[in-house]
Amino acid sequence: MAKTQDFSAIMKDFMGAFPVDTSAMEDAFKTQATLGEKLSAVAIDAAAKSTDLSTKWTKDTLTKMAEMSKAKTEPADYAKSMTDFASACAEMSAEHMAAYAEIAKKVQADTVELMMAAGKDMTEEASAAVQKATKDATAAAKKAAAK
């Protein structure tokens, strides 16, 4: 009978000749976790500001509605009250939508800034990892050639 080769020993020798440094992966994970934390902070801040703005808008609308719902002495006063309420709502809508746009613009600017910084960090880390891997592989190849 033919004897089969021990591939586990071959693989062990092969993998031992090319050691793997996991620090690059750990650094990449830490960078991703930090980026996620910063992006979450931007999103949570925007959500808080949007909630505050929504609350203010609701309170302002209810205040205007309270004025509109008061009893009037003349029938024409009801029409004027409705017109005033509609005008106030239109004005408030424009103001609040502009405020929402400012929140969105800030989120966009902060996100772009974070992504640019993260891209720079990842490029530097990848470059360092490639240089180290090249150095390690060259050393391993020289060591293997010397045997």
Inside any domain, residue 15:
no
Is 65 within a domain? yes
Quote the CA–CA distance of 63 and 84 in Å, as a whole number.
13
Q: Evaluate whether residue 31 is within a structural domain.
A: no
Flag whether 123 is in a domain: yes
Among 24, 31, 19, 15, smallest CA distance to 130 is for: 24
Taking each helix axis as running N to C, give the angle between helix 75-146 and helix 7-17, from 0 to 180 degrees, rounded to the nearest 10.
Answer: 100
Number of compact structural domains in the chain: 1
Q: What is the rounded distance in angstroms from the CA atom of residue 138 to the CA atom of residue 131?
A: 11
Say if 147 falls within a structural domain.
no
Range of the domain at 92: 39-134
Express each pLDDT in 124-144 by its tens digit: 777 777 777 788 778 777 776
Mean pLDDT, to the nearest integer, of 89-108? 95
Q: What percent of the chain has pLDDT over 70?
A: 91
Condensed to tens digits (0 to 9), the pLDDT of residues 18-37 reads 666 677 678 778 888 898 99
Evaluate whether residue 12 is within a structural domain: no
